[in-house]
Chain A
């Protein structure tokens, strides 16, 4: 068997179990004695709970436990308030419900049907309150407050320590960034552009809904099987809520049926544990599709962007106000606001900035992390406006981006130095892929779309570009353990959750490459917080970089141990011992690992334990400020066809280029890139949660439209650009989110190029184009 390589495609380790239907996801699991939990949810966007009476539900046949606010508030063993940044959430509503679908009560029963029946027997008297249903209304003076006060803080997050809600308003957080001299920047500009862009709330729509099984032992020991992307954060939160040390909370995570950010931080876990504690037996809760829409969404946003430029295209100044609708609970919205703010300049050098990014409470389901994390929002504005500027100045959008784009060693908006930024390579690669021709882009608006009098066909073609820069969560921690067994096979203990991204395979490759061990001899264990060491989160595109590095360090630790054993047992100086192809080379001989293991332990047995720890900090290796342990860089290019009679458009080709650092598993990289593009297409042209007076009117997969195979463009070209990051394993960086972010603006820019219509409100729909074309016709 060959030693493992990097840069070579391996069949993913999770494939065989998945294509045969054997892979166990949470809803496939049950534990002995398990009951079924169901949740009663608010029918109102905002109401005071005057009375709640669950007596009839408790007496219903089959019911084992019922939870209402009384159980939460009166139990000395429960801290009622929790949340990843602010303690503004409760297991069930206490005084008020704050959005349609807010949990009010929960029932555990012997069957799911009995639990459902019992929910209907719970009597709740509500006093409806005025609701704030969008950011504009929420910010008006005298607006109804979603939270009269917010408890601070519960966060252990160093990057959010300074962040606080503004008392007496619905402002959950306000992130500010000022750079240079904004007044002078605008004064020196030849032209100033001011536009407002919007994006709607969307939903992750993983096919596996949130689910949880919880069991509480009489001594207080809590075991939870969870569909979570960050089991260690959930462990901390549960330990705080149920007032036990983290060692008493065990989180087990099976394969996830997709996450995309929608499974970070506590979701259904606290209510399931509360039910299990009350029921004194295990409880399983599996959310319905509709309930998922009430649980977490992506932030809708309104972005006002004012940009000053010189006539040669140099961007001098930008003022930007971002309002993110965070819904009824802060969740991780404060960090989303921060990331949106940091990237409001895009991947461009802009010396004068005034950026204000707000997350705002409204009476809607909470918004949190979604693949792209605030940058999807800011990039929609940044990249759309780049093309508005390019068209006005008659500059090729490609040239405008290359002129202002970051180079290696430039300063980011936080004044830190950017390293390993393959921005221009990415932009050029996608432009080449779709056949970008400079002269085509320079044609005047008069000959675009309707103006093209000589063209008899109603179909117009256009091309568009977009780029982006994004940070990863910093500081953060990943720890890994690699065990070498007596036969020299490896077991990898890592807290990274396999949710489809192929992490198991890449981690095995890294350990295998480091020690020269074949893939077939490596096992990556499942995630169980009792077994694997700490990892902050499987999100923020961080696992390959952080956990990959931790696994690499753990493998190197094993190598050092082997070296010391050989030095001692074979009496060879350390510097004469080398490693190659999974063997240990001495001046006179070559040893197998298993021989060395036998020599060390004196029999067929024993274990070597390698330890790897990665912690990133807000200061880099040079002592400079570090907002991000590494930078994601990507560009996208779209070619579209628009029918100017109907507004109907087709995506003909999409190219995406991502600076991956190093493609460890090339097919896995291409999968992440092409997959993110499909998600981006959904966000660009289909997806939108629709509300009517705070009621969701499409919380199902018929009315909330997802892209299907038929919506895929004929060609997606995923291009991996490799600018190695010195701190990543073998130079690799994270890639999970990058390709998604440029999709919507690239398509919008291509549509403008085709027909002169500028769409500023996502999603891009044929009817919006049609109406704009009608306006053009006059």
Chain B
């Protein structure tokens, strides 16, 4: 039995028909074609599927689409303003904070949520907030450098 849900995705109203068991990640990827969020571990530990749900980072692999009814969702595709990239995106490029890129949208969105909550996080706060995102290429030092730099600019 499909259910109708309304979401506000990257500032646009979207109405979707989903199965009750459809995850938010499946809905966003398969129905809206927003594939920046990736399935990595499927059990909420790797962070590759991160989306912002009403501004808070969630593992979209483990959120049911029907539970997101009425919520506002930000995906990596909605982060830049026109052609201007978000400062975190820019810092990631400048400091080499990615290699294969599979984890990148999750890291950037989680970092955005951190800076929205806490514009001047300490190094320890960055480490703790982003502990739920894995980068298997091992770009952690560069990610830290990028985020410390965003912090300085902010």
**Chain B nearest CB, measured from A503 CB (Å):** 11
Contact B108 A19 (CB under 8 A): yes
- Given A257-B38, A678-B140, A712-B140, CB of A706 within 8 Å of CB of B134: yes
A124 lies within 8 A of chain B by Cβ: no
Q: Which residue of A lies closest to B124 (CB)?
A: A710
Q: How far is the CA of A27 from the CA of B36 in the complex (A)?
A: 11
Which single member of B35, B103, B139, B141 contacts A207 (CB below 8 Å)? B103
Q: Which residue of B lies closest to A18 (CB)?
A: B101
**Chain A nearest CB, measured from B107 CB (Å):** 9
Q: Which residue of B lies closest to A739 (CB)?
A: B138
Contact B80 A20 (CB under 8 A): yes
Q: How far is the CA of A189 from the CA of B98 in the complex (A)?
A: 50
Q: How far is the CA of A256 from the CA of B99 in the complex (A)?
A: 10
Interface residue count on the B side (C-beta < 8 Å): 52
Interface residue count on the A side (C-beta < 8 Å): 53
- Given A207-B40, A671-B142, CB of A706 within 8 Å of CB of B93: no
Q: Which residue of A lies closest to B142 (CB)?
A: A671
Instruction: From A670, A674, A700, name the one whose CB has the most chain B CB atoms within 10 angstroms.
Output: A674
**Chain B nearest CB, measured from A501 CB (Å):** 7
- Given A675-B138, A708-B134, A710-B128, CB of A208 within 8 Å of CB of B93: no
Q: Which residue of B lies closest to A17 (CB)?
A: B101
Which single member of B40, B77, B127, B136 contacts A20 (CB below 8 Å)? B77
A306 lies within 8 A of chain B by Cβ: no
Chain B 94-116 per-residue mask, 1 if CB under 8 angstroms from chain A, else 0: 10101111111100100000000
**Chain B nearest CB, measured from A121 CB (Å):** 20
Which single member of B79, B104, B130, B136 contacts A18 (CB below 8 Å)? B104
Query: Which residues from A are CB-within-8-Å of B32?
Result: none
Which A686-707 residues have a C-beta within 8 angstroms of B? 700-702, 706-707
Contact A21 B105 (CB under 8 A): yes
B48 lies within 8 A of chain A by Cβ: yes
**Chain A nearest CB, measured from B103 CB (Å):** 6
A679 lies within 8 A of chain B by Cβ: yes
Contact A709 B136 (CB under 8 A): no
B75 lies within 8 A of chain A by Cβ: yes
Chain A 233-261 per-residue mask, 1 if CB under 8 angstroms from chain B, else 0: 00000000000000000000001111110
Q: How far is the CA of A24 from the CA of B89 in the complex (A)?
A: 18
A207-B100, A678-B139, A709-B131 given; name 11 further pairs at CB < 8 Å: A20-B76, A20-B77, A20-B89, A21-B104, A22-B77, A258-B100, A258-B102, A258-B137, A288-B42, A670-B96, A674-B138
26 residue pairs bridging A and B, Cβ less than 8 Å apart: A20-B79, A20-B80, A21-B105, A22-B36, A25-B38, A25-B102, A28-B29, A205-B136, A206-B100, A207-B136, A208-B102, A257-B101, A257-B102, A258-B137, A671-B99, A678-B139, A700-B43, A701-B43, A701-B134, A706-B136, A708-B134, A709-B140, A709-B143, A710-B127, A712-B140, A716-B141
Q: Which 5 A-B pairs have the closest CB atoms?
A: A21-B36, A678-B138, A500-B100, A257-B102, A18-B101
